[in-house]
């Protein structure tokens, strides 16, 4: 199984998104998958010029001479992993820029797409617009949306891991999700729910936001 993964966090391996992505990819590798990971901030990908050549004149090929040429032969991978921090309820700009250039080039091979994301706010519902978007893309390009590893209030995970708190089950579940995808072709929803599990109550979260940003801060999310 060939896996093509992208991490669009500017923090790369030191970011919150990588706390979930890296064990997930590790689980896939351990189960025998061939995984290639790219960091968008290391790629030279210009914005789409909107010429539509890749759809109309030269299907499957973009004429801009940048790293999309190096990536194009890899797009037939069995699994595509899109990992992005949540920026303004969406993928971040680096990922969107890559998607604009890459999605029209993806062969409709019924391959699987996995979303990995982390966000700052407390609730899982903050990912809803992003999930809607990625599922719509999969539907339109004949790819199978195979699941999302979502980590809300992600900074808590980082703090708790650094403090040695009992949160190792979260990266372990991400790793197990990678193993399941390779071995079973699917990820158990219970495993995904551990990745997203609550680390702090909403009340305690709100208290912390008020301490940091003042008593009038809107922390309802
Ligand atoms: C410009 C910007 C926009 C953000 N927008 C949101 C948002 O809409 N919702 C949210 O919950 N967190 C938001 N965040 C917080 C990030 O999603 C969160 O810190 C994430 O875990 C960062 O991942 P990383 O460390 O891998 O880059 C935003 C952060 C930045 C810098």
Residue range 100-145, pLDDT digits in tens: 999 999 998 889 999 999 999 999 999 999 999 999 999 999 999 9
Residue with tokens 């968008």: 40
Distance 193 CA to ligand 1 centre (A): 20
* Ligand 1 probe mutation, 5, 13, 85, most atoms within 8 A of CB: 85
Could you read off the pLDDT of 187-207 as tens digits, one per residue? 999 999 999 999 999 999 989
Helix axes of 154-162 and 16-30: crossing angle, nearest 10 degrees: 80
Total domains present in the chain? 1
Strand spans (E) along the chain: 2-7, 34-39, 79-85, 112-118, 144-151
Is residue 106, in this structure, part of any structural domain at all? yes
Q: Would residue 146 be called left, alpha or beta, if left means φ above 0 and alpha means ψ between -120 and 50 degrees?
A: alpha
Is residue 150, in this structure, part of any structural domain at all? yes
The protein residue with its alpha carbon nearest to ligand 1, atom 5, reads 87
Is residue 220, in this structure, part of any structural domain at all? no
Is residue 219, in this structure, part of any structural domain at all? no
User: Is the per-residue pLDDT at 66 higher than 60?
Assistant: yes
Q: What's the pLDDT score for residue 216?
A: 65
CATH number of the domain that residue 116 is part of: 3.40.50.360
Is residue 168, in this structure, part of any structural domain at all? yes
What strand order describes the sheet that includes 34-39? 34-39, 2-7, 79-85, 112-118, 144-151
Is residue 221, in this structure, part of any structural domain at all? no
Cα distance between residue 19 and residue 52, in whole Å: 37
Distance 119 CA to ligand 1 centre (A): 5
User: What does 161-195 look like in DSSP terms, one character per residue?
Assistant: HHTT-S-THHHHHHHHHHHHHHHHSS--HHHHHHH
Is residue 96, in this structure, part of any structural domain at all? yes
Q: What's the pLDDT score for residue 105?
A: 96
Could you read off the pLDDT of 26-39 as tens digits, one per residue? 999 999 999 999 99
Its domain, for residue 176, covers 2-213
The protein residue with its alpha carbon nearest to ligand 1, atom 31, reads 87
Q: What is the pTM of this model?
A: 0.97
* Ligand 1 probe mutation, 90, 117, 119, most atoms within 8 A of CB: 119
Mean pLDDT over each residue of the chain, to the nearest integer: 95
The protein residue with its alpha carbon nearest to ligand 1, atom 28, reads 87
Is residue 218, in this structure, part of any structural domain at all? no
* Ligand 1 probe mutation, 8, 87, 213, most atoms within 8 A of CB: 87
User: Is the per-residue pLDDT at 10 higher than 90?
Assistant: yes
Ligand 1 binding site (Cβ under 6 Å of any ligand atom): 9, 11, 15-17, 85-89, 118-121, 126, 154
Give the number of the atom of ligand 1 that is nearest the alpha carbon of residue 18: 26
Residue with tokens 């992993």: 81
Cα distance between residue 140 and residue 147, in whole Å: 17
């Amino acid at each position: 199984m060939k896996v093509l993964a992208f991490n669009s966090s500017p923090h790369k391996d030191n970011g919150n998104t990588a706390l979930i992505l890296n064990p997930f990819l590790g689980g896939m590798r351990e189960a025998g998958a061939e995984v290639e990971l790219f960091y968008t901030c290391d790629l030279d990908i210009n914005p789409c010029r909107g010429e539509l050549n890749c759809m109309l004149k030269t299907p499957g090929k973009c004429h801009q001479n940048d790293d999309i040429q190096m990536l194009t032969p890899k797009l037939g991978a069995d699994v595509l992993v899109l990992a992005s921090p949540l920026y303004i309820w969406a993928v971040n700009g680096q990922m969107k820029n890559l998607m604009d250039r890459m999605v029209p080039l993806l062969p409709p091979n019924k391959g699987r797409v996995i979303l990995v994301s982390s966000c700052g706010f407390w609730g899982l519902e903050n990912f809803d617009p992003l999930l809607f978007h990625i599922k719509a893309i999969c539907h339109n390009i004949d790819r199978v949306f195979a699941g999302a590893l979502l980590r809300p209030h992600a900074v808590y995970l980082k703090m708790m891991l650094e403090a040695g708190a009992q949160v190792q089950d979260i990266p372990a579940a991400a790793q197990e999700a990678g193993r399941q995808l390779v071995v079973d072709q699917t990820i158990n929803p219970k495993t995904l729910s551990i990745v997203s599990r609550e680390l702090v109550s909403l009340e305690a979260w709100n208290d912390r936001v008020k301490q940091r940003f003042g008593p009038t801060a809107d922390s309802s999310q």
